[in-house]
Copies of this chain bind each other. A is one copy, B any other.
Amino acid sequence: MPQISSKGQLMPPSPIRKLVPYAEEAKRKGRTVYHLNIGQPDIETPQIVLDGLKKVDLKVIEYSHSAGNESYRKGLAKYYDKYGIKITHNDIIVTTGGSEALVFGFMTCLDQGDEVIIPEPFYANYNGFAVMAGVTVKPITASIENGYALPPIEEFEKLITPKTKAILICNPGNPTGYLYSKKELEALRDIVKKHDLFLFADEVYREFCYDGAQPYSAMNLEGIENNVILVDSVSKRYSMCGARIGALITRNQEVIAAALKFGQARLSPPTFGQIASEIALDTPEIYFENVVNEYVQRRNILVDGLNKIEGVMCPKPGGAFYAMARLPIDNSDKFCQWMLEEFEFENATVMMAPATGFYASKGLGQNEVRVAYVLNQEALKKSIEILDAALKVYPGRTINVAKKATTV
């Protein structure tokens, strides 16, 4: 039997999906599992999209242009204009999800062995895209103590080698929910400019900024117009993850020309997803207002609830729909598995993502989990109740251990 490649072996399994078999087993036992582990929102896709798709009248479901339908790209350019991002449809390649935009971006800009610096914790699949492109990830650890703010720029400076080709940020952040300030982005701009690096900015959660904060796009950083590559997606914006439509956006026409060759090889992004995405451009503002209101309420319930549990620390996220929480536990992988395998409270349990998968530095994230507030408020309240109960009896808990030893 022939051997699979080293790349195939190195490729990390999804830390978010790897606990699925335990969740399935819990459900087989008749338990309710509250899924706070994945970024699949329960929010409805805009009605305008659902209605519009029923009216699509095609005779042949054809390939589109490899860069995506021109009408959709022109519509997208107008969408960005609303956020003060001035681009044309020639700066856009429509991709199969934000995932493909990152793969094309890495392959276009970095060679085998080149390095990309990423503040950690970061979206776990960046690791997978790096393996696919043969790129080395150099993490810089952000701290839960200041809500995962951008690490000091000197820390970036220390990591730069002749192999460093890019910095990648996610803003607002998955898994941290941290929203970078203009000042933080300008500090990044300076180092990007100094070393002439690419700056990949994953801004797929743009719509989800809270407490009056406005997102500042890396595309608007002056002086690095040819360095910035925006990665975007309709998945979260319109709650249509299954459309698999994203975009790679840059004013750097060399990057566009090269990335388009990768696009041509795979022929075109999905036709129905593009149609849905183009319809979605007309989603009324009230949709986003309602969604943001809902997320803010959920966030407050979740964060306040978590912080009331003894030994738990959960910084309040400024955007996206995730929160990172430090728990009084020995090992987040073990704990999340134990929650599914061993624990139940009123015949229910909670599924979370162990934070270890969001760190590239080995050993970090052992006492942290990511929770996605993608369930309704009642489910979130119930989840907190379950987690509180679980932390009281988890064998690997790290507080009150002595006390327990004496009471037993």
Q: Which residues of A contact B (CB under 8 A)?
A: 1-2, 4-9, 11-14, 17, 38, 40-45, 49-50, 53-54, 56, 58-64, 66, 96-97, 99-100, 103, 107-112, 114, 125, 128-129, 132-134, 165, 196-198, 226-227, 239-244, 252, 254-255, 258-259, 261-262, 264-273, 276
Contact = CB atoms under 8 A, between A and B. Distances in A.
Contacts of A271: 242-244
A406 to B, nearest CB: 45
Given A45-B59, A107-B132, A255-B4, A264 B198 contact: no
A11 B50 contact: no
- Chief secondary structure at chain A's binding surface: loop
A276 B273 CA distance: 12
Contacts of A13: 261, 264
A51 B109 CA distance: 43
30 contacts: A1-B196, A1-B254, A2-B197, A4-B254, A5-B258, A6-B111, A8-B107, A8-B261, A11-B107, A11-B258, A11-B265, A13-B261, A14-B265, A45-B58, A45-B60, A53-B53, A60-B239, A61-B239, A61-B241, A64-B242, A96-B244, A97-B267, A112-B134, A128-B262, A128-B265, A242-B271, A242-B272, A243-B270, A244-B269, A270-B270
Given A61-B239, A66-B17, A12 B261 contact: yes
Given A2-B109, A243-B61, A14 B264 contact: yes
B128 A9 contact: no
B59 A56 contact: no
Contacts of A125: 264-267
Contacts of A276: 61, 272
